[in-house]
Structure 1
């Protein structure tokens, strides 16, 4: 495919220099459905980006779109703050019956502002309020959001530098595999907790991603997560799982921590919880932690009712029968086999891959290679992004509803792009 970069005059002259995705994908996109995105010049792209994980059910999913249109056409409430509405009730009932009860999860549900970072801010604020302490432990290469509290527990130096002020009350610890197995899990963490001279204040909580998406598709082992939960219980720290990108079925189960058999104290969800790409986020926590005062954490758009409508439709359609998890794991095996072949064909021992469900990363020793692969894939009609602290990982994040044929098509484009950038 030959792509002619469009004349982005209004974007270049009026929009801020902070824009990023449009620089790697120089096209003006016009419409999309399922796994396909189309630009205004008629080019078609297979989407292995899925709105950074906010489109697990594809673009303009017809079932969710119909529910949304029906709601809007009958003048359903759009903006409701935290008022009780029929749309919110329908979502809460579906979430309770389809997600929480079958997994024996006792969580209360909080609607913070509609972004993932707002859910993280609410989680951090609540943990500190419950425990009466300020310090929160995070992990190397973590990413939890772009607001100040979330940045304080984010590892990426470039993003942290954008804060412009000191980011305090967060302490990083080594994520799983950080020392390649040469150091026992949590040895450093436990030693600092025990040593009254370590300088580590007793933490209120630990926040973790089971799979670090922006950090480079770093997958925590189930036993590591279980050991972390045990450590938190023994040391009187709350365990927060940030499931904003890896939740809603991305790794297989609805929650990414299900495989490890743990029950976090607090869980954050966003991105694909609405199912349709509409802004929405949740902060879930055990009932005994619900010590909020009315209005103590709020937001003008915390009651985005169209998102409640599509979220309920997504749960009712894709999660009531248990088939989505099985399908995702099967699709994941398809990706794994393809990446195994790509890595073997490259002949470069520095090329490796890792992932779970339908989130995978293909890592290159030279980060410029990963960027070149993504650029070449775009030219051939495939949307991919990089991740990792140096942009060294090609990140695969296709919609969960992708067909085996579409998945194979994209994987063949990826393989060709790797060969052509060798």
Structure 2
């Protein structure tokens, strides 16, 4: 058998790949290998990963226990593609998810496997809410992000992403997210008024969909009391509450579900990204049993039965969620990030920070500085992205398992990059 050597360089992608590509424009390295919190390019340069696959790699790259489980499964010719057929891998995941995640939290959810992406989980949640209630309208929130397919875009706030739909995005109404008016407007005042006013023109919604922390929207953090009030409002008016935990679930904020700290129980929950554990495509839509009114095949997908992802997901649950060690570690490392960001903000004008657990945002009043800092950080071997309506926020999503020394190293790179683009005022300027 003749082996043909394939030559790949930076021009390969501009010649052959669509202009829609994004991350490679800011991080043009030709990456080759990855382990833990580090990626290595073909020239041997290493990059510390504060991006973690947009939150799909909470346990890092090529985590050994997960990799071993995957290799063993493939070597023994385990089922790879199974649609929604019953397989050993899926059954073991379902039982483990129930025993380690749902039962200890007294959560009674049925598990639906939609197509293996976050946006498909959201699409199925919206469809189910409309089917259950017989209503069409969905309430979303300012600066929300729920995915790039049409239904998910209809409940997404970002104007540039919505513009790509090419058709009107209907049957949804945005409401102000927590602190949208900087505390100057009473929470839910407008929402409650238009719901109860027969002259408001608002159709009674089927559901409300919310992120407890808006990652893409700029690391906007909802308070526990705001979430509890939202849950109560939905319950009182027989509106279903959907929590989109695609990016903030699986421990990103500390607890497995990001809504746990508020003491609420959503009607429907969407999970994807890190639920597969290893970066393999997988998504779940969790629904209360009384909402499980689907007809067989009414929502499906060819790759909803990604069995290798079931294997790595089960291994991740057993390794990281059989106790509370990871949750406590996330709290500890989150405090380190918050302290470092507070120090940066104290030294430099026009900056603030926010976050929860190990999702953190460094906010710039002058939006363009965020991208400049990320570009300098990249040259210094750190991957971090921007978010927010004007890309004014540096969003940190390091692996939850990152070594503390690596975490401090990455934060030092950011600190030095900020100092280059936003120098601290001199003593003369502050006198």
Normalising by the residue count of structure 2, what TM-score does the alignment of the two structures yield?
0.96
- Post-superposition Cα deviations, 1:223-272, rounded to whole Å, max 9, x if no partner, equal 00000000001111000000000000000000000000000000000000
Looking at structure 1, the residues matched to 10 and 42 of structure 2 have their Cα atoms a distance apart, in angstroms, of 12
Looking at structure 1, the residues matched to 165 and 334 of structure 2 have their Cα atoms a distance apart, in angstroms, of 37
SS in 2 for 1:250: coil
Q: Aligned residue for 1:275?
A: 277
Looking at structure 2, the residues matched to 61 and 252 of structure 1 have their Cα atoms a distance apart, in angstroms, of 19
Q: 5 Å matches for 1:121-270? A: 121-270=123-272
Q: Aligned residue for 2:365?
A: 365
Q: 5 Å matches for 1:104-115? A: 104-115=106-117
Looking at structure 2, the residues matched to 144 and 7 of structure 1 have their Cα atoms a distance apart, in angstroms, of 34
Shift in Å at residue 7 of structure 1?
4.8
Q: 5 Å matches for 1:14-413? A: 14-346=16-348, 348=349, 350-413=350-413
Task: Tell me if structure 1 keeps the 8 A contact 2:9–2:30.
Answer: no
Looking at structure 1, the residues matched to 320 and 372 of structure 2 have their Cα atoms a distance apart, in angstroms, of 36
Q: Aligned residue for 2:12?
A: 10
Looking at structure 1, the residues matched to 282 and 191 of structure 2 have their Cα atoms a distance apart, in angstroms, of 34
Deviates more, 1:97-106 or 1:318-327: 318-327
Task: Tell me if structure 1 keeps the 8 A contact 2:386–2:394.
Answer: yes
Q: Aligned residue for 1:3?
A: none
Q: Aligned residue for 2:4?
A: none
SS in 2 for 1:248: coil
SS in 2 for 1:124: helix
Q: Aligned residue for 2:428?
A: none
Shift in Å at residue 10 of structure 1?
1.4
Shift in Å at residue 88 of structure 1?
0.3
- Post-superposition Cα deviations, 1:158-187, rounded to whole Å, max 9, x if no partner, equal 000000000000100000000111111100
SS in 1 for 2:59: coil
Task: Tell me if structure 1 keeps the 8 A contact 2:69–2:311.
Answer: yes
SS in 1 for 2:25: helix
Shift in Å at residue 377 of structure 1?
0.2
Task: Tell me if structure 1 keeps the 8 A contact 2:81–2:306.
Answer: yes
Shift in Å at residue 195 of structure 1?
1.3
Q: Structure 1 regions of 5+ residues with no counterpart?
A: 1-5
Looking at structure 2, the residues matched to 90 and 389 of structure 1 have their Cα atoms a distance apart, in angstroms, of 41
Looking at structure 1, the residues matched to 12 and 329 of structure 2 have their Cα atoms a distance apart, in angstroms, of 42
SS in 1 for 2:66: helix
Task: Tell me if structure 1 keeps the 8 A contact 2:212–2:259.
Answer: yes
Shift in Å at residue 67 of structure 1?
0.2
SS in 1 for 2:355: strand
Q: Aligned residue for 1:419?
A: 419
SS in 2 for 1:102: helix
Task: Tell me if structure 1 keeps the 8 A contact 2:374–2:394.
Answer: yes
- Post-superposition Cα deviations, 1:320-364, rounded to whole Å, max 9, x if no partner, equal 012110110001001011001111111x1x200000110000000
Looking at structure 1, the residues matched to 415 and 218 of structure 2 have their Cα atoms a distance apart, in angstroms, of 19
SS in 2 for 1:395: strand
Looking at structure 1, the residues matched to 237 and 156 of structure 2 have their Cα atoms a distance apart, in angstroms, of 22
- Post-superposition Cα deviations, 1:88-116, rounded to whole Å, max 9, x if no partner, equal 01101110000000000000000000000
Task: Tell me if structure 1 keeps the 8 A contact 2:144–2:216.
Answer: yes
Looking at structure 2, the residues matched to 16 and 87 of structure 1 have their Cα atoms a distance apart, in angstroms, of 36
Normalising by the residue count of structure 1, what TM-score does the alignment of the two structures yield?
0.98
Looking at structure 2, the residues matched to 389 and 43 of structure 1 have their Cα atoms a distance apart, in angstroms, of 32
SS in 1 for 2:32: strand
Shift in Å at residue 318 of structure 1?
0.4
Shift in Å at residue 194 of structure 1?
1.2
